[in-house]
Copies of this chain bind each other. A is one copy, B any other.
Amino acid sequence: MIQEIAFKARQASIRTAALSAEEKNCALAAIAGALRQQEKRIVAANQEDLAQAQKDHLNPALLKRLKFDGAKLKGAIEGIESLITLADPVGRTLSARQLDNGLELYQVSAPIGVLGIIFESRPDALVQISTLALKSGNAVLLKGGSEAVHTNRALAEVIIEASEGAGLPEGWMALLETRADVNAMLALEGYIDLMIPRGSNAFVKYIMDHTRIPVLGHADGICHVFIDRAADLEKAVRIAYDSKCQYPAVCNAMETLLVDQAIAGEFLPRIKAEYEKAGVELRGDSRTQNIIEVKAADEQDWKTEYNDLILSIRVVDGLEAAIDHINTYSSHHTDAIVTEDSQAARQFLNRVDSADVFWNCSTRFADGFRYGLGAEVGISTNKIHARGPVGLEGLVIYKWKLLGRGQIVAEYSGPQAKPFTHKEMNKPCPL
């Protein structure tokens, strides 16, 4: 069953890969229009989910994420409209090289194929992800949270009907509904090219551990701020405060603060006063405890993503020790240095092995919207393909198109071999 759906998606992906920008944008416009028209039906479906969730005593934060009213729908439609204005990520010529007269090589961006996307509770994600997949010419299998089953079903029906009506191939998008479907999906490495799980750390880790399909995402967000001896302490307080307190529940919030011993005596009391106002629980190593009164932090704290108003603090000997600590304990997500010494900043930025390395600004800037990526697919701590906040370009790869006039390799081999010209060209692929 799932295998059949995935096979259909793969067949469809061959067609979606060859769609023009205009065809894709028309389909996106049709989806936006249909969502606007079907507002009543969608909101009614969401009411069903909300009523069930209240019966099930879901916590208020989850209820808030589950809610999909007229305002949320409007936001989703605006997202589609802004997606239409973005350049087509497919068909861009990334490099062009003449191999010989009349033998031209083009590296051209192309869709990845079939995406498998699993997300929790928030129905907005369904709209966002399916339209990102469409814009990038991919087919997509989606599985949403079971608490949003009616909303997701209504949204998927509207999107599928509108897009297929606008010429997209049947089966390019499908909604899966059960946990068993997810496990079936994880085994379909022949059909699905990339999995993108969005949700809790444990959930993402489960996906990563149970499939051979490449996974784009991040399990943990253990982010650091290092206050260097050459820091402007005014900036240091602002950045350390914002990185922890501006929104502590998210992956780009700081979990461990590293402080250079040279300025720890001056800095720690100042930042402690600020954190106390915000009710942050502080845990420090023994050198921190020698300076300010805080609970003890242990090895486990360096490895913990609190996602809460809790912060571990470690006093380090200096830049080298800070880099070592981060490369040992960081989840390679986002780490920042506060310093007025550009040489220290350079060392930090080049030697901290993380997706996002910041100088004199808050870790909370690590985000596709703030980066100006136009649309965010997610945040990746992978070391290949895409790293950090991922925009539409994370949903494409490239293919090599070689255009000849009958050339064969025998002519370019052996003692009489014709030489290659290997001349870079500055023109887009004509096909």
Contact = CB atoms under 8 A, between A and B. Distances in A.
Nearest to A18: B350
The residue among A242, A349, A409 with the most chain B CB atoms within 10 A of its own CB is: A409
Interface in A357-399: 357-362, 364-366, 370-372, 382-389, 397-399
A126 to B, nearest CB: 23
Contact of A408 (B18, B361, B383, B386): B361
B408 A364 contact: yes
B361 A402 contact: yes
B112 A239 contact: no
A372 B97 contact: yes
Interface in A309-356: 323, 327, 342, 345-347, 349-351, 353-356
Contacts of A403: 345, 358-361
A179 interface: no
Contacts of A234: 406
A41 interface: no
A371 B214 contact: no
A212 B403 CA distance: 37
B422 A346 contact: no
A411 to B, nearest CB: 9
B361 A399 contact: no
A357 B113 contact: no
How many copies of this chain?
2
B359 A400 contact: no
A360 B285 CA distance: 68
Contact of A323 (B14, B99, B355): B14
Given A234-B406, A323-B14, A400 B366 contact: yes
B365 A402 contact: yes
A253 to B, nearest CB: 10
Contacts of A431: 342, 345-346, 349-350, 359
Contacts of A127: none
Contact of A384 (B342, B346, B384): B384
A385 B387 contact: no
Interface string A226-255: 000000101100110111001100000000
A403 B336 CA distance: 10
A262 to B, nearest CB: 20
A368 to B, nearest CB: 11
Contacts of A242: 408-410
Contacts of A389: 400
A412 interface: yes
A86 to B, nearest CB: 13
A205 B409 CA distance: 28
A419 B193 CA distance: 37
Interface string A194-219: 10000000000000110010101000
23 contacts: A17-B350, A99-B371, A103-B361, A105-B372, A113-B353, A113-B383, A208-B212, A214-B383, A214-B384, A238-B408, A242-B410, A345-B431, A349-B399, A360-B406, A360-B407, A361-B402, A361-B403, A362-B409, A365-B404, A366-B400, A366-B402, A372-B422, A387-B397
10 interchain residue pairs of minimum CB distance: A361-B404, A242-B408, A372-B422, A235-B406, A364-B409, A385-B385, A193-B383, A18-B350, A384-B385, A358-B402
